[in-house]
Amino acid sequence: MSAASTATGRLDGRVAFVTGAARGQGRSHAVTLAEAGADIVAVDIGKDIDAAPYPLGTADDLAETERQIRALGRRVLVRAVDVRAQSELDAVVAEAGDTLGGIDIVCANAGIGPFFHKTWELPESEWQDVLDVNLTGVFHTIKAVVPSMIARGHGGSIILTSSLAGLKGYSNIAAYVAAKHGVNVLMRTLANELGPHRIRVNTVCPGLINTDMMMNGPTYQVFRPEVENPTQADATEVFRTMQVLPTDWLEPRDVSEVIRFLASDEARFLTGTAIPVDAGQIGRG
């Protein structure tokens, strides 16, 4: 029996709010939660950001996420939203309350990967963009969703996407590391603040995941600097040495299944935790 079939119905009657849902991990999270019975609010910026060295999800990508959720028979609200803009998040959360009945699950997933620079050579504009999306965007999401979650009195689950870079220090991506560490600290504070309201808050800390954020030319070049114009196959020779378990990388669904668990009643006493989803990479000697 598949993971999807065993999870069916566990989130019936709930509404999940997913940021960065156009593709990659965000789409996978939205579809996985829908398979488990949740209706979905799916948002994404739908355009590129200068600080990201790869194209971001498009309006067509977000439409495909919507199509996949509707094919599961779930209700879905899709909007173009920039998590750097509090007013845009506030508006879609209010709309979700009117049309879907409020939010029970939050998956603050929107984020961008950076260019690679030594810290002292990092352009200030790139530092600011990465923090604005990856950390302040999470803060904005919390500000938008929490008041109505508290007011409804139904409890809930908030899952923030951090990274192994939120648990370790990695060279040449200072803004990303700082932002993802900040997400974990924010999670622990929120767990304390929201526990009395029966709202649980946790983070997932993905390792090497097969998405456009990781699988792109600039990243391949970092892992294989001696190769001119390295391909994914070139980088994979390094990737497969990074995990303890024998795999080249993880798929978005591997993270989504952890998020589905954290959103469910099975995790009802789990809060304030940062969960690595990394095939053992964090403990690699």
Give the contacts of 69 (CB within 8 A, at least 6 positions apart): 30, 31, 34, 40, 42, 76
Q: Which tokens go with 233?
A: 């196959």
Is 190 in contact with 142 (CB distance < 8 Å)?
yes
User: 79-114 burial string, b = 16+ CB within 10 Å, else e?
Assistant: bebbbbebebbbebbeebbeebebbbbbbbbbbbbb
DSSP character for 55?
Answer: -
Q: Are 270 and 202 in contact (CB under 8 A)?
A: yes
List of residues 6+ apart from 236 with CB closer than 8 A: 248, 249
Q: Rounded to whole angstroms, how far apart are CA atoms 101 and 271?
A: 25
User: Is 170 annotated in the active site?
Assistant: no
Q: What is the rounded CA–CA span in Å between residue 212 and residue 210? A: 7
Out of 54, 170, 176, 220, pick the active-site residue.
176
Active site positions, annotated: 176
